[in-house]
Chain A
Amino acid sequence: MSAKPTFSHEISNLMYKSHGNPTKSCIQCGTCAGTCPVAEYMDQTPRRLIGMINANLKEEVLASNTYWFCASCYHCTVRCPSQIDIAGVMYAVKRYSIWNKSYSEDLVGPAFSEAFVKIIARSGRSYEPILAPTYMFSMEPKEFVQEAFNATKMMLKGRIPVLPTRIKHIKNFQEMIRRIIPIGGES
């Protein structure tokens, strides 16, 4: 028994059994790549990324934008003939890259996700106006204007919250989170 788990084992270990077969069962058929609506924007197709995971090409996998561009639509998952939860694999690599801060610098997804989870841990509910800065400042000027324009139109239609809402027993809620992730001291 080897002392150090391989990268593909590390990724498999990040998933519950309910997420289907391990990536090792991939037959490289490419159904996922043919199905994925975002594949043309990815630097590696899902099929290639799984092949790279199985070959333990850790650096190359983590440097790829593929897993952060996955929109979690599960089209690959339901079609995979080897019953691999491919969207679940993408989630696992995202977690791995967040924990190790090893994602590509120019991606918006990681900062957005971290900000989102922090808001929830603080108030229990999401609040769009706090989230906007995590992605808006990384946008092209044209996109920034587009986003601001859209937000204004939505606000005029009463579709943007003015004040954040929060749940009632926020202390209990935070204590609950501490039993899962020991943030800010003992659990």
Chain B
Amino acid sequence: MKKYALFPGCSLEKMAASYYRSSVETTKKFGVELQELEDWNCCGATTYSYIDELLANTLVARNLALAEKEGLDFVAPCSACYKNAYFTNKYIKEDPDLWEHINYALEQDDLQFHGSIEVYHIIDIFAKEIGPEEIKAKVTNPLNGLKVAPYYGCQIVRPRKNGEEFENPQFFEEIIDAMGAEPVDFAERLRCCGASLIMTNRQAALEMVRVLLNNALNSGADVIATACPLCQVNLECYQTAVNEEFGTDFKMPVLYFTQIMGLALGLPRKQLGIGSELVSAAPIFSQVMVKEGK
């Protein structure tokens, strides 16, 4: 069984607890164990870098050093945590002065950064480590006819890492396809959800959410699949606010892709944290349940 250090980040502790559960349960089906990183600290979201970039990198490096101590590669389900971890890991290795300074600070916590581990987003585990073929083989409840909008958002594709495709990625569609569901042609799938602007610039963020919901609806989606807690909260929990603001009537379910994956793997809904949504996901279950019966 391949084991990874799971970096939940602050969102997955409570707000996105369903993402945590569904990530652990679905990977387990493929012989992958996600073990929560012991004593992790907040990755800093975007705000550490607003104050001090060295501090931002140091706090992220602490988490990487903790995973190194356990000899485990690092997995983050939150896209913002992932981006921070991925790039700190990269920047330190490229800059000996930064490396030295950060290790000088980490020393106070009996830790050192050695640069010996890889950083993954949970979607990388499914798309690259497990792969669509193996997913297909393990699907017991193919989600035939379920139309899913693959919402990449920003940070699983941006900033660019090793020259991979950022204008037209397909890995999310491939995963949805492997579940037996139908990935819809969701033109705005790479557009930002507004992220923390929902707190600091409400007007702009609600408009950004509206554009996405509208595009998902027009693309015929039954549900939006996300890979980030901030995207999930903005698209789902602020849907009522969007409706009030723009006079729209969106009732678009927004689930973590791991929850939808869990349904395809035949896992009980409760085990996937389904039921904590503010916009009911019930409309999609009639479809899924029909197949559960056969």
Q: Which residues of A contact B (CB under 8 A)?
A: 14-18, 37-38, 41, 68-69, 71-75, 77-78, 85, 87, 91, 94-95, 98, 107-110, 112-114, 116-117, 120, 124-128, 131, 135, 139-140, 143, 146, 149-150, 153-154, 157-161, 165, 167-169, 172-173, 175-181
Q: Which residue from A17, A18, A108 sits with its C-beta under 8 Å from B201?
A: A108
Give Cα distance in the complex from A98 to B14, angstroms: 30
Which residues of chain B have C-beta atoms less than 8 A from A75's C-beta? Answer: 154, 158, 190-192
Could you tell me if A114 and B51 are in contact, using CB atoms closer than 8 angstroms? yes
Count: A-B pairs, CB below 8 Å: 189
Give Cα distance in the complex from A9 to B204, angstroms: 31
Chain B residues touching A, majority SS: helix
Chain A residues touching B, majority SS: helix
Q: Contacts A107-B200, A176-B105 given: A95-B51 contact, CB under 8 Å?
A: yes
* CB of B196 within 8 Å of the partner chain: yes
**Known A85-B159, A127-B10; further 16 A-B contacts with Cβ < 8 A:** A18-B91, A68-B200, A69-B201, A71-B195, A73-B158, A74-B155, A75-B191, A91-B46, A91-B50, A108-B199, A112-B200, A125-B42, A128-B15, A173-B41, A175-B109, A176-B105
* CB of B108 within 8 Å of the partner chain: yes
Which residues of chain A have C-beta atoms less than 8 A from B10's C-beta? Answer: 125-127
Give Cα distance in the complex from A21 to B96, angstroms: 20
Could you tell me if A165 and B13 are in contact, using CB atoms closer than 8 angstroms? yes
23 contacts between A and B (CB under 8 A): A37-B191, A38-B197, A69-B201, A71-B195, A71-B205, A73-B192, A78-B160, A95-B49, A95-B50, A108-B199, A112-B196, A112-B200, A113-B47, A113-B51, A117-B48, A126-B10, A127-B10, A149-B240, A158-B17, A165-B13, A167-B40, A168-B39, A180-B55
Could you tell me if A94 and B237 are in contact, using CB atoms closer than 8 angstroms? no
Q: Which residue from A124, A160, A172 sits with its C-beta under 8 Å from B15?
A: A160
B125 to chain A: closest CB distance in Å? 22
Could you tell me if B108 and A172 are in contact, using CB atoms closer than 8 angstroms? yes
* CB of B266 within 8 Å of the partner chain: no
A172 to chain B: closest CB distance in Å? 4
The number of chain B residues touching the other chain, given as a range, is 35 or more
Could you tell me if B47 and A150 are in contact, using CB atoms closer than 8 angstroms? no
Which residues of chain B have C-beta atoms less than 8 A from A117's C-beta? Answer: 44, 47-48, 51, 55
Which residues of chain A have C-beta atoms less than 8 A from B197's C-beta? Answer: 38, 69, 71
Q: Contacts A135-B199, A146-B244, A159-B14 given: A112-B166 contact, CB under 8 Å?
A: no
Give Cα distance in the complex from A16 to B96, angstroms: 12
A174 to chain B: closest CB distance in Å? 9
A112 to chain B: closest CB distance in Å? 6
Could you tell me if A157 and B276 are in contact, using CB atoms closer than 8 angstroms? yes
Which residues of chain B have C-beta atoms less than 8 A from A72's C-beta? Answer: 46, 154, 195
Which residues of chain B have C-beta atoms less than 8 A from A113's C-beta? Answer: 47, 50-51
Most A Cβ at <10 Å: residue of B15, B48, B200, B277 = B200
